[in-house]
Amino acid sequence: MANSWQGSPGPQGSDVGKVTEWGEHLGKEFDLLTDLFESPDEQEWQERALCAQTDPEAFFPEKGGSTREAKRICQGCEVRGECLEYALAHDERFGIWGGLSERERRKLKKRAV
């Protein structure tokens, strides 16, 4: 039984441009995915984070919700510095990271510039 693709004409002139464009887009998407799935060593600290053992809702409260509990947990966390470093490097815009809220991280970044 012949495969359906066998004997079909190859890409036509205008199709080649579309395939190239799609390939470039795919490359950008792939870069985003590789950023998400960094090497295990780079994210090893997350396994030791106290927040990994607690309710994530405390770290991502509704707008206007309390951040007190999350910040309290962060105070005793051994990887707090690594967590904050990660959030700043990856422009995390939501949640408590390294004991700081989004607003506090923005202020910290502005002072660093």
3-state secondary structure (DSSP) of residue 70: helix
CB 46 within 8 A of CB 38: no
Sign of CA dihedral 48, 51, 56, 62: negative
Q: How far apart are CA 7 and CA 56, in angstroms?
A: 55
Contacts of residue 83, defined as CB under 8 A and 6 or more positions apart, other chains included, come to 45, 46, 49, 51, 74, 77, 97, 98, 99
Annotated binding site for [4Fe-4S] cluster: 51, 74, 77, 83
Annotated binding site: 51, 74, 77, 83
